[in-house]
């Protein structure tokens, strides 16, 4: 396991947040689908290729997740040594995870893949 994966797994356990961690095949399917929908068929989640509808500078976005995302059945995606993803029921839970872990770029989508949000390590938030 990688440091970020370990940190998020431990936080999920400590906060007793119900989640489902994606396995390798599920991750591959998720990334392929996201690339097809939001990146024009790119091979990976390249922020430079994201079809952005709106972008903003917002260093506090991670604290506003529950006020900005009204969908349930969300997916949190991070990248360290590889892609990692967890299905999380509520935006409040993702906000709690982000508040208890070190800062890092992340992606949020829902199970329907109806949107994709990316927050980079420069506090830029992109909505697709």
The owner of tokens 């900005």 is 68
Break the chain down into helix, strand, coil percent, rounded to 5.
40, 25, 40
Q: Phi first, then psi: give them for residue 119, nearest 5 degrees.
A: -115, 120
pLDDT confidence bin for 1, thresholds 50/70/90: low
Predicted structure pTM score: 0.95
CA dihedral 68, 121, 107, 103 (to 10 degrees): -80
pLDDT confidence bin for 111, thresholds 50/70/90: very high
Helices (H), the chain: 3-14, 24-38, 61-68, 91-100
Asked if pLDDT for residue 51 goes beyond 90, the answer is: yes
Give per-residue pLDDT as tens, 27-39: 999 999 999 999 9
Q: CB count, 10 Å around CB of 114?
A: 9
Whole-number average pLDDT of the chain: 94
Question: What mean pLDDT comes out for the span 69-84?
Answer: 94
- Cβ proximity of 54 and 127 under 8 Å: yes
């Amino acid at each position: 396991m990688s440091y970020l994966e370990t940190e998020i797994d431990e936080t999920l356990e400590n906060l007793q947040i119900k989640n489902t961690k994606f396995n390798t095949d599920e991750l591959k399917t998720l990334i392929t689908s996201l690339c097809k929908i939001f990146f024009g068929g790119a091979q990976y989640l390249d922020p430079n290729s994201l079809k952005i509808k709106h972008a903003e500078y917002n260093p506090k976005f991670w604290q506003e997740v529950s006020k900005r995302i009204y969908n349930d059945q969300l997916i949190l995606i991070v990248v360290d040594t590889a892609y990692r993803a967890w299905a999380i029921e509520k935006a409040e839970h993702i906000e709690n995870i982000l508040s208890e872990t070190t800062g890092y770029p992340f992606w949020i989508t829902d199970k329907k893949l109806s949107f994709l949000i990316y927050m980079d390590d420069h506090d830029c938030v992109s909505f697709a």
